[in-house]
Structure 1
Amino acid sequence: MRVRLLLPGFLGLLPAMAMATEPPPADSVRIYRCVAANGAVTLQDAPCAGTHRQQVLDMQRPRDPPPRPALAPATAPAPPPPEREVRIVTVQPPQPLYECIAPDGGRYTSEDGLGTPRWVPLWVGGYPPPGRIGTAPPASGGGMVAGGRPGHGHPHPGGAVIASGTWVRDVCHPLPQQEVCARLRDRRWELVRRYNSALQSERQALTREQRGIEARLDRDCGGH
């Protein structure tokens, strides 16, 4: 605010209107303070009467405050991230299939890799014992005892002697998965062919086996 005061001594020489001939600044408001002879003080926006002492006050014009910046709209708090779902997937490995070789060179398949067991007699000194040689394990005595050790021969009723021996299994080896799938398909087709000519009592067993092969092809061979 700019205040311009006129001294009392100067007021006695010039009339009051001459003291405020200069226009106020554009951004100011001019106020006249008038003092009468009896000391009464008045404030007005026009010059004082000639008999009054006068003070001119240039005050800054009131202004509206600047507009307040717009508040950003309140945003809802971000939802918490979803809980991470953990899944445990268990993949069953393909079921193996084994090919076994019989003593005569024939080949067959096995699900567990154990070949067909067979009883093999053990010769003593490279010569067979006298009498008849049995091809089956003895019912008691002889044969294989605990620990896999061969037992001793014993007389067979009728005078024959059964030689001691041991159980052996045919050698088996696992087939590649591609070959497993090919043989399963061949087996399925064979079951279909046999079904048409099978007896009613045999068809139930063939149907069960075919269902097992279908499930195995779906699981291990990518379908049919």
Structure 2
Amino acid sequence: MIRPCALLLLVIASAPASAAITYQCTGADGRVSYQDKPCASGQRQQTLQLDESQPTIAPPPAPPPVRAVAEPAPPPPPAEPETPLPVMYTCISATDGKHYLSENGNPDPYQVPYGILGASQLPLSSVYGPPNSAGASAPELNRGRIRPGLIANNYVWVQDQCHALTYAETCHALRNAYDANETKLKRAFKSDRPPLEEREAQLLAQLRNC
């Protein structure tokens, strides 16, 4: 006759290595508990075998992290078309030698009295007066003596000389023109402002290159 303790040892020995033994213990008050050790004396014990040979179902793999896709940067605003520096010239007046700015490096020739050039200034009495009355230039004494040829012979064709401004000279001239235009704009009536405002915008566009 096999004793109960020997039978328990045989059951444990015959249990597969993957099986786990759990004890169901029932107390005198009927409360049931489960533990991995034999029940205490006075408790009704029931042995349970848990088969751990079943493969553990692995949880589904976590989805790959969602990478934030950077939105493409908006295209830069179109650049304002640059206004190139104008070609400007400084010219010298043939009549008085004064300098002035011009956008034309080849101004048209013009007629001036020969005497205004300072090359030869004839006295009026020599041009208009009678032969023997020096200093007389009264109109009544000049009748019949003033001829188209006489006036034409005292006029000459002249042309102002010009040369192109350098880059620095052009910027300096544009700044001066802008200041002068601003002065006029501040003093102008409302009706006179549109052309000055248009000139202001033109000069500002040109000055961006300076």
Q: Sort the TM-score into its range (normalised by shorter chain).
A: 0.3 to 0.5
Superposition TM-score, scaled by structure 2 size: 0.41
Q: Which has the higher helix share?
A: 2
Larger RCO (CA under 8 A, 6+ residues apart): 2
